[in-house]
Amino acid sequence: MARLHARDYEQMLDLAVAILEDDATDSAWHLITGHLLKAMGCDSATFSVVNVTEGTGVIEGWAPERLSPYVRDLVPRRMRQHHPLLSYIAGGESAPVTVSAICDTWRQSQWYQEARRDFGVTQQLGLPVSGGPDRISLVLMGRDGAFRPHDLAFAARVQPLLVRAGNHVQALRRLSATAPALTADHPSGHGLTPRELTVLGLMAEGLTALGIARRLTISPHTVNRHLEKIYRKLGTNNRVSTLLLAQQAGLVPAT
């Protein structure tokens, strides 16, 4: 694997901080794809969620913004065209890969012609975020030119961060739907960060520190650090009093 540089790790850290400090779940993947576009030096970056069994899907984030007219019906069209990345991920593969590496006829395909026409790219790199026979999600980056071994190495290193980002966004969306005050800038938010609010919401669902760690794909030690900060900001010292105060403040739904 190609060697990464200090600047690569700085860009990963910038992305991690941006994810954890942002609680606008509707625009989370726009933020993430924007960071990846810059870090990878690409011409396009999209994040797609695909329901394989239903034949439906949507692009939740993209960069640059000029791609807006082209992304609305893009996922269903790529499914009808049998884009090779979809079968690659649905079949259980998870390593970042260029489309040309898994498709010998890439430059003769319809999706290549459309990618070149609409996105201005001649090569694509797929980065699976989640995969399975029924539902997959992936970041797809495009470039007018080849992806180098260094690009694949960077994608492999940033992939676990994107998996955790996906879990974080999904949990925050679900909790925000049940607790309207679940935002860091809410008057009753007590200065909790989006990540701390997510941990608090999962605790309100009855999850232990280990359960929260599994849900967010982080370590129990990291969860406990978040809990310590939550207790300090709310002025509590145990799980029961913390949840009671959080319910009164509207940070979590009352049970």
Segments of the chain with pLDDT less than 50:
184-185, 187
Which of 130, 162, 194 is the C-terminal boundary of a domain? Answer: 162
User: How far is 58 from 213, CA to CA, in rounded Å?
Assistant: 28
What pLDDT was estimated at residue 187?
Answer: 45
174: in domain? no
User: In which residue are the tokens 């961060």 written?
Assistant: 161
Statement to judge: residues 134 and 59 lie in one domain: yes
173: in domain? no
254: in domain? no
Cα-based distances in Å from 127 to 71, 178, 204:
18, 31, 33
| Residue among 241, 167, 149, 153 nearest 211 (CA) | 167
**pLDDT tens digits for range 234-244:** 999 888 888 88
| Residue among 52, 48, 73 nearest 61 (CA) | 48
Beta-carbon-side half-sphere exposure of residue 96 (alpha carbons within 13 Å): 23
154: in domain? yes
What pLDDT was estimated at residue 116?
Answer: 94
Q: Which domain holds residue 85?
A: 6-162
What pLDDT was estimated at residue 26?
Answer: 75
**pLDDT tens digits for range 138-197:** 999 999 999 999 999 999 999 999 998 888 888 777 766 665 555 544 545 678 888 888
Which tokens sit at 12? 């990963």
196: in domain? yes
Domain tally, the chain: 2
Statement to judge: residues 143 and 184 lie in one domain: no
169: in domain? no
Which tokens sit at 135? 């539902």
Dihedral over alpha carbons 235, 241, 247, 250 (to 10 degrees): 0
User: How far is 201 from 70, CA to CA, in rounded Å?
Assistant: 36
Statement to judge: residues 12 and 116 lie in one domain: yes
167: in domain? no
User: How far is 163 from 241, CA to CA, in rounded Å?
Assistant: 32
Residue type, 191: G
What pLDDT was estimated at residue 255?
Answer: 63
231: in domain? yes
CATH number of 194's domain: 1.10.10.10
User: How far is 123 from 97, CA to CA, in rounded Å?
Assistant: 11
| Residue among 198, 169, 166 nearest 184 (CA) | 198
Statement to judge: residues 157 and 183 lie in one domain: no
Statement to judge: residues 131 and 207 lie in one domain: no
Statement to judge: residues 114 and 237 lie in one domain: no
